[in-house]
Amino acid sequence: MSVTKTPAWQALADHAAAARGRGFDTLFAADAARVTACRISVDGLRLAYAFQNVDAQTVGLLTALAAQQKVADWRAHMFAGGRINATENRAVLHTALRQRGDAPVLVDGVDIIPEMRAVQKRMAAFVDDVRSGQWRGATGKPMRHIVNIGIGGSDLGPRMAALALRPFVTGVDVHFVANVDAFDLNNVLDKIDAAQTLFVVASKTFTTQETLLNARSARQWLVEKLGEGAVKKHFVAVSVNAGEVEKFGIHADNMFPMWGWVGGRYSLWSAVGLSLALAIGNAHFRALLDGAAAMDDHFRTAPLEANMPVMMAMLGIWNRNFLGMPALAVLPYCERLRELPRYLQQLEMESNGKSVTRAGAPVQCDTTPALFGECGTVGQHSFHQWLHQGTTPVAADFIGVARDDLGKPEHHRALMSNMAAQMAALAFGQKRPAAPHDNYPGGRASSLILVDDLTPRALGMLLALYEHKVFVQGVVWDINSFDQPGVELGKRLAKGLESGSLAEGSGMEKTVLAGFYDAFLSGTA
């Protein structure tokens, strides 16, 4: 049965009809303790949702929906190694990569922890060797540039975290290449010294078209400068495909494996985080994992009504499915979190941008909203006009850092003041009937996510919070959050065009595409 036909969904639909007409002035007037009541804290990370259009009854109904859809059972199934990624017949165990102890985690009866710990130990030793200068390049010089070549989860996570943790980066410069547009690679190659550069090629299959094209071009650049023998000292791989890695010229000892139970957009915690670990060092990388583990523990044990990821997920469902908001703005008031909206676009929209249930039936409700965002205060001078006075209300996540003055407290006061003012203006608006152009409707929902300090541990908690939020929403919508078939068709068609042999799709589709490419896009017509 579709979730939309269930009693808990219908109760929320009835409740939403009355909730749409109430304003935040009414909600705050009805509950003097609303600010303190509408919040959840976990170890220095706080979620405040007083500016969401919910009251105690709404929260109770949302919790009932999560319970009805068996969120707790699916959560236990995931942590236990169940094959919840049914279309790919895989377990989903990125959480195991950051668990603190060595309690067994079984996949098909085999404990995955010993092998995982062995890889982590190898990775830590390699990081120490590079950062200490023991690992030297073909000319005997230590590595001072780390170039991560990947795409999707093999790029967005490490790239985002390297910027977020920039004060913790020491000893090396870290660069990222993802786009097959040659400008991306050339822009990095122009900045680095071949003799002191280590390339990390991150591709689970080592067949990812974009990554391999960039990697081969980087290899050719290195060989032209240092010779063929330099490849083994200047390239390492993160992959499961030892054969393709060795064909490339990377020795098996310099390949750090991943596993099928780690999805790309959940892979920062694995060897995909190697470039980040090289930049910030093992201790800080471990702190990142520990922060995520702390959020895992909270998610596993807290009751649904006091569970931060569950609450975030259900507020999102309330806004999307019952209040009709088609988008979510993620607004970090911290320049170091500038890449976070891009990272979350993949996490949320690739995970839950689905229109088919686990059973293969059409979904009967809207799934993930469009996600976009920009740093405050920059975004205030671009799309915030639309947030405040546009015809389509959308929800917003404001993300702030309580203690982050970076030696300039006046800047931080201005930043936090702007964030608080934006939330209040969105919620309460401004009524000036005599000046319609200066009329703000208000009623725009937002949450605040606040960390005390932007440390590796705090970042780990924040990222795990969003991961589990996505999982809960997938469970409620009855979709598989861990596959991504929608990204494959275009890639196969592109490969056919590139090779001159289109084999994918119907005859008409191939004919039209080939003609369009020849006439408009090839650059030769």
Instruction: State the Cα–Cα distance between residues 98 and 296, nearest whole angstrom.
Output: 9
Catalytic residue chosen out of the listed positions 121, 411, 431, 491: 491
Q: Which long-range contacts (CB under 8 A, 24 or more apart) does 296-300 make?
A: 296/79, 296/95, 296/98, 296/99, 296/464, 296/468, 298/42, 298/43, 299/75, 299/464, 299/468, 300/75, 300/79
Instruction: State the Cα–Cα distance between residues 494 and 157, nearest whole angstrom.
Output: 25
Catalytic residue chosen out of the listed positions 210, 339, 348, 350: 350
Q: Are 162 and 214 in contact, with CB atoms under 8 Å apart? A: no
Whether residue 350 lies in the annotated active site: yes
Token digits of residue 412: 């931080």
Question: What are the CA-CA distances from residue 481 to residues 67, 266, 368, 477 (Å)?
Answer: 18, 11, 10, 10
Q: How many CB atoms lie within 10 A of CB 163?
A: 17
Instruction: State the Cα–Cα distance between residues 363 and 35, nearest whole angstrom.
Output: 36
Q: Are 144 and 173 in contact, with CB atoms under 8 Å apart? A: yes
What are residue 396's DSSP bridge partners? 329, 446
Catalytic residue chosen out of the listed positions 70, 121, 247, 381: 381
Q: Are 325 and 371 in contact, with CB atoms under 8 Å apart? A: no
Token digits of residue 255: 């390949």
Q: How many CB atoms lie within 10 A of CB 141?
A: 14
User: HSE (CB half, 13 Å, CA atoms) of 13?
Assistant: 10
- Provide φ and ψ at 384, rounded to 5°: -65, -25
Q: Are 65 and 9 in contact, with CB atoms under 8 Å apart? A: yes
Classified as helix, coil or strand, 405 is coil
Q: Are 363 and 477 in contact, with CB atoms under 8 Å apart? A: yes
Strands (E), 364-460: 370-373, 395-401, 446-451
Q: Are 13 and 47 in contact, with CB atoms under 8 Å apart? A: no
Strands (E), 5-158: 39-42, 45-48, 106-107, 110-111, 145-149
3-state SS, one letter per residue, for 161-218: HHHHCHHHCCCCEEEEECCCCHHHHHHHHCCCCHHHEEEEEECCCCCCHHHHHHHHHH
Whether residue 491 lies in the annotated active site: yes
Q: Which residues, 6 or more positions from 423, have their beta carbon under 8 angstroms from its beta carbon?
A: 51, 396, 398, 446, 448
Whether residue 381 lies in the annotated active site: yes
Q: Are 491 and 498 in contact, with CB atoms under 8 Å apart? A: no
The structure tokens 């974009």 sit at: 210
Is the bond into 392 cis (omega within 30 degrees of 0)? no
Residues annotated as catalytic are: 350, 381, 491
